Amino acid sequence: MIISCLNQKGGVGKTTVSVNLAACLSRTGARVLLIDADPQGSALDWAAAREGEPLFSVVGFPRPSIHKEIVQLGQGYDHIVIDGPPRVSDLARSAIMAADVILIPVQPSPYDIWAADEVVKLISEAKVYKENLKSVFVVNRKITNTAIGRDVGEALAAYLLPVLAATVAQRVVFAEAAAQGKSIFEIDAEGSAAREIETVMAELMEFVL
């Protein structure tokens, strides 16, 4: 499975979601490749901060030819996660065309919901060439027990794309893990954050299959 994690708005937590979903997949014994397609290289920075053995392979490939080279890049891997660029570009289009499923992280804020319009349009364009392409929103950095946190699903319904029931809350532990180049599972495998990532991954797999 090839997952592209995309949203042109910065600060939605694309890299956090990408890294931890890749870690979740690797925990099953699968061979996982994380492609950093963001010119800012946040996933590469995460990998560089790590001490010890890597959990999975991480490569930087911020080029608009990912969809043409994905077969060669992903040779020998069971799953590929693409951490996409932060703006609409040929690179974003390529990351969409390379994927089986597009995961769109959005924060529960009106600005994020409005900003999702551009990536939704790109996905619609791509489906002309790739009919079986799937796409879904995931609410990230949700602040629990707030009205905007509860209402975000209704707001996203205007886009006619599904929204995962599973959400990821705003938690300091994600930043603590990232600073050490670790996944959430290495910091607290039994904690709420790890369970949220596992639930997102399980629902995403079910959605694709």
pLDDT lower than 50: segments of the chain = none
Give the structural domain span for 121. Answer: 2-208
Is beta strand 32-36 parallel, antiparallel or unpaired with respect to 57-60?
parallel
Q: What is the pLDDT of residue 58?
A: 98
Q: Give pLDDT, residue 9.
A: 75
* Residue whose C-alpha is closest to residue 164's, from 145, 141, 139, 144: 139
What's the pTM value of the predicted model, to 2 decimals?
Answer: 0.94
Our count of domains for the chain comes to 1
pLDDT of residue 95: 96
Residue 11 pLDDT: 74
Q: The CATH number of the domain where 55 resides is what?
A: 3.40.50.300
CB 101 within 8 A of CB 136: yes
pLDDT digit string (tens) for 117-130?
Answer: 889 999 999 999 99
Render the burial of 117-146: b for 16+ CB within 10 Å, e for the rest.
eebbebbeebeeeeeebbbbbbbbbbeeee
